[in-house]
Amino acid sequence: MLHGIDTIREQAKQPLQDTQTDIVCVLGTVPTFLLDSNAVTLNQPIPIRNYQDVAKYAGKNLPDFTMYDALETILTESGGATIYMINVFNSSVHKTSVSDEEYSPVAAKFDINHVGITNLVITSNEDTAELDVDYTVSVNKQSTTIRLISEDFINAEAVTCSYDYADVSKVSAADIIGTVDANGNKTGSKAIKNITQLFGDDINIIIAPKYSAEKSVRDALVDLAEELKARTYLDCPQGTSVNSAIVARTNASSIDLTCSSKNAYMALPWVYRYNQYIDSNVLSPISPVLAGLRVKLNRVADVATSIDNTKSVTTVGLEFPVEFILNKENTESNALNAAGVGTVINWKGSFRIWGARNCAYPSETGIETFDSVIDTANFIEKTIETGSFECVGAKVTRAFIDNVTETIKAKFNNWKNPEMGLILDGDVWYDEAMNPAQDVANGKIVFSYDFCPPSVAEHIRYQSYINIKYITSALANE
């Protein structure tokens, strides 16, 4: 028996925590032959949080390999993001063999116009050279230099080379899409589903720069985005013209851009970005720009803010100019937007994303075809789902029902606060008609809620009048 006072601390009811909005997954290719052996990865999600991680796991910004450029672009556009990279380039598979290629050394040196050289065999006059005894190898930016150093080879007028070289063109759509084998090992995009269990992060944005222009890859990314309630940004094939894109959105011919997912956003043209590795501007896919800008908007504004009319800081030029006149309807930029394709315009020296609609447009219309509305819906639904995790296994009582509805209502009140402005309003309720006793007894319970994010100012119209009455007032005697 206690004769005195004690205190039992009860766990307070916790408010719902906003779900993550800045987690990106990039599927692409890494020149693994430039990496330290302990940094080489294949079909494995690797967290990238800074430029040091980019250098360690993505190597160099070698043209045709997509990963380094994508990671650097996202970090630069966003100002900081958590990215998971999944490299699908396998140097033992994605290679090409060359036999008996002849070279004429100059000053005991010659260049092979490939990188990632393996299994190199150099012969001259039936003599076979030995590495570091008869020759040395150094990798340049886009070629490999062979320097002959022994007396047996240094004066050779001709040599014959056979070798394998890393051939990123051998990477296929199937590599990006990936598989799940009999032991549950996942490759390509299938490995994205391992990220939550491995790292605890919830992927919000999925891109496969360049490869997402292929129909099969696009379909795989869309399916994954809809399953995860994530956003996928899609590229069009390099060289796709405005007219070809418009036709390809509904009529798959030589180019297929058919897609009607609300979780997908498609844009063209490709853009030029500076590549410090080769010190040149390189034509690159637009999807990393879109991913980086979406992360930035989520951080500095909110998910309800459209990517439309957002400035890119990495874009220095366009594959081709897209006609844009602010107050004219019949332009290329409007024609693309009307087909559900975003674009990039040059607005007085700054390159801006132009287009607010997701890929469901124009086969569907209405508020849910705005990219930001679906981003907001995904954010709200995932926040409520993850915030309700602790409810699973709880006793179903009136207090339980009230606790769930009150917690979600509190979150809606926060989201509709003018300082937040994530939604215009929202409500949650428990409908007894949707919860018959048999279902509740069987462990199934249904809550209902609705909400409305802000729409997007896509078309602003002013009505102007020339009013001659101002002549009278202006000329009147004071």
Q: Is 282 exposed, middle or buried (0-12, 13-18, 19+ CB in 10 A)?
A: middle
Position 370 scores a pLDDT of 98
Q: Which of 32, 82, 85 is nearest to 62 (CA)?
A: 32
Position 11 scores a pLDDT of 60
Report residue 120 as tokens.
Answer: 């190199």
Per-residue confidence in pLDDT tens, the chain, 478 aa: 777 787 776 665 666 777 778 899 999 999 999 999 999 999 999 999 999 999 999 999 999 999 999 999 999 999 999 999 999 999 999 999 999 999 999 999 999 999 999 999 999 998 999 999 999 999 998 999 999 999 999 999 999 999 999 999 999 999 999 999 999 999 999 999 999 999 999 999 999 999 999 999 999 999 999 999 999 999 999 999 999 999 999 987 789 999 999 999 999 999 999 999 999 999 999 999 999 999 999 999 999 999 999 999 999 999 999 999 999 999 999 999 999 999 999 999 999 999 999 999 999 999 999 999 999 999 999 999 999 999 999 999 999 999 999 999 999 999 999 988 999 999 999 999 999 999 999 999 999 999 999 999 999 999 999 999 999 888 986 5
Q: Which of 283, 259, 414 is nearest to 339 (CA)?
A: 259
Position 473 scores a pLDDT of 87
Measured in degrees and rounded to the nearest 5, phi and psi for residue 301 equal -125, -105
Enclosing H/E stretch for 439? helix 437-441
Position 12 scores a pLDDT of 54
Rounded Cα–Cα distance for residues 266 and 249 (Å): 10
Chain position carrying tokens 């607005």: 347
Q: List alpha helices for 360-449, DSSP H.
A: 371-387, 398-415, 437-441
Position 398 scores a pLDDT of 95
Position 148 scores a pLDDT of 97
Position 478 scores a pLDDT of 58
Rounded Cα–Cα distance for residues 188 and 217 (Å): 10
Q: How far is CA 83 from the centre of its chain?
A: 9
Assess contact for 312 and 271: CB atoms under 8 A: yes
Dihedral of the alpha carbons of 271, 376, 304, 211, in degrees to the nearest 10: 0
Assess contact for 53 and 39: CB atoms under 8 A: no
Can you list the domains of the chain with their CATH numbers? 23-89+173-371 (3.40.50.11780), 95-166 (no CATH), 395-478 (no CATH)
121, β-bridge pairs? 162
Report residue 44 as tokens.
Answer: 């494995």
pLDDT by residue (tens digit) across 193-244?
A: 999 999 999 999 999 999 999 999 999 999 999 999 999 999 999 999 999 9
Q: How many CA atoms lie within 13 A of 103 on its CB side?
A: 27
Assess contact for 87 and 123: CB atoms under 8 A: no
394, β-bridge pairs? none
Q: List alpha helices for 301-370, DSSP H.
A: 332-338
Position 19 scores a pLDDT of 79
| Secondary structure (3-state) at 429 | strand
Position 17 scores a pLDDT of 77
Q: What is the largest CA-CA distance in the chain?
A: 109
Assess contact for 107 and 134: CB atoms under 8 A: no
Enclosing H/E stretch for 148? strand 144-148
Query: For residue 105, which amino acid is it?
Result: P
Assess contact for 146 and 109: CB atoms under 8 A: yes
Position 7 scores a pLDDT of 74
- pTM, two decimals, is 0.93
Position 21 scores a pLDDT of 82
